[in-house]
Amino acid sequence: MMTKQQLVSKVKYLKLNNDGDFMLDYDGKLDIIDFHTHMSNVLPLKIVDPHIVGKKLKYKTLPDMENMDLSVPYWKKINPNEQKRGILPIIKFSIEGYKIFKDMANGGTYENCFKSQNENMIKTNVVLPLSTKKYDRSMEALKISKDYPNKFIAFCSVHPYDSEMKEKIYNYKKLGFKGLKLKITDIELKDDFTLLTKLFKICYEVGFPVLLHTGALTHIKRENTSNLMWKILKSTRVEIFGRLLKELPKDFKFIFGHGGIAEYKLVAEYIKEFPSCYVELSCQTESSIKYLINEVGYERLLFGSDWPALPQAITLSNVLLATEADEYARKHILYENAKNLLNI
């Protein structure tokens, strides 16, 4: 089995810091905008004060070294015969999800955030709150951006079942939010997208770009899953959002979060169809980023990491690798496109 040290010795632009975490290995100067980050206080759990010091991030979303493969999206080695039958994989799936959230809430502190920004030449994090029907975490993200206006940009997050959706979004626009983020599934919406479409239209009215968690793992076979597991795996598939975009104005600015994970090729097709849409690249690979550049150009690709769920350095190193021959594309993906989109 390869150690972490052996892995980084093989990957240009990656090294390990004193704690043994991944960090950028690059000599030039970059003022990067990371378009997909969270903090300890913006999650749908108990709010954790980001000022707390001495917490260590474990990056629970990363596979262990044995299962790590940086050449596939999500960086987890693919087993084409992966079995997800019965109730056990569903329980495991929920427990893993909970552990990831716990780690983010524990380690998404200012201390860890600034360390990671310094190590990875990141000037600004776009903070994406995750609201539910019950808890709106938008104001927590705003607090972060008011505390450190140079280091953070706040998106809001309003759930489509929120009865004050319209008033809230108009108010959030006035307060200085720059866009809206949501993580939602077709299961939660019971396959009825009326309210989500309404939410998108309000965002369009106020000029908010909208970033959603998009994508599915495509290597798992239908016959190897239970009905419920299959539904869960497909519940944020790219096709859902592509279909909704057909009902929205052509200049609505939608951002495919995570580049659609394993569905980045389908994302590329939608990017061609919808000229105002963008791709955020967290968890993508050198080759998938190259594919996207070749298919749709670099002007609508945005670097994002999903920190503190994932380290900022890995997607970053993949963007650098994919743009080795094109300094201009590199700058656009790392910050110019984000600046244009956010009007900053």
Could you tell me which stretch among 70-78, 148-156, 270-278, 302-310 binds Zn ion (CB under 5 A)?
302-310
Instruction: Decide if residue 306 touches Zn ion (CB under 5 A).
Output: yes
Nearest to 259 by CA among 74, 40, 107, 133: 74
Part of the chain binding Zn ion (CB under 5 A), chosen from 132-140, 191-199, 301-309, 320-328: 301-309
End-to-end distance of the chain based on CA atoms, in angstroms? 45
Nearest CB to Zn ion, comparing residues 248 and 310: 310
| Cα 257 to Cα 238: distance, rounded to the nearest angstrom | 10
Helix (H, G, I), strand (E, B) or coil at 45: coil
How many degrees, rounded to 5, is the angle at CA 272 between CA 268 and CA 273?
115
Q: How far is the CB of 320 from Zn ion (least distance, A)?
A: 21
Which listed range, 41-49, 218-226, 298-306, 331-339, lies at the site for Zn ion (CB under 5 A)?
298-306
Closer residue to Zn ion, CB minimum distance, 157 or 288:
157
Smallest CA-to-CA distance from 37 within 127, 120, 107 is with: 127
User: Rounded CA gap, 91 and 187, in Å?
Assistant: 17
As measured in angstroms, the least distance from the Cβ of 312 to Zn ion is 12
Applying CB under 5 A, the span of 160-168, 228-236, 300-308, 335-343 interacting with Zn ion comes to 300-308
Maximum distance among all alpha carbons in the chain?
Answer: 55
Minimum Å distance from CB 306 to Zn ion?
Answer: 4
> Whole-number minimum distance, CB 296 to Zn ion, in Å?
22
Shortest reach from residue 190's CB to Zn ion, in Å: 23
Which residue in the shown chain puts its C-beta closest to Zn ion? 306
Q: In the bound complex, what is the minimum distance in angstroms from residue 41's beta carbon to Zn ion? A: 15
Q: Where are the beta strands (DSSP E) in 18-101?
A: 22-24, 32-37
> C-beta of 326: minimal distance to Zn ion in Å?
27
d(CA 168, CA 150): 25
Question: Measured from the CB atom, is 61 or 218 closer to Zn ion?
Answer: 61
Size of the site for Zn ion (CB under 5 A): 1
Closest to Zn ion by CB, 8 vs 309, is 309
Single out the segment in contact with Zn ion by CB under 5 A; choices: 135-143, 171-179, 238-246, 299-307: 299-307
Strand pairing report for 152-154 and 122-127: parallel
Contacts of 204 (CB under 8 A, 6+ apart): 248, 249, 252
Q: Could you tell me which of 57, 77, 52, 70 has the C-alpha nearest to residue 17?
A: 57
Residues 60-99 that bind Zn ion (CB under 5 A): none
Which region, judged by CB under 5 A, interacts with Zn ion, from 10-18, 82-90, 303-311, 321-329?
303-311
Which CB atom, from 215 or from 225, has the smaller least distance to Zn ion? 215
Q: Which is nearer to Zn ion, 145 or 214 (CB)?
A: 214
Helix, strand, or coil (residue 319): helix
Report the nearest approach of Zn ion to the CB of residue 115 (Å): 19
CA 42/CA 135 separation, integer angstroms: 10
Q: Which of 21, 306 has the CB closer to Zn ion?
A: 306
Handedness of CA 336, 127, 23, 292 (dihedral sign): negative
Q: In what order do the strands lie in the sheet with 152-154?
A: 32-37, 122-127, 152-154
Binding site for Zn ion (CB under 5 A): 306
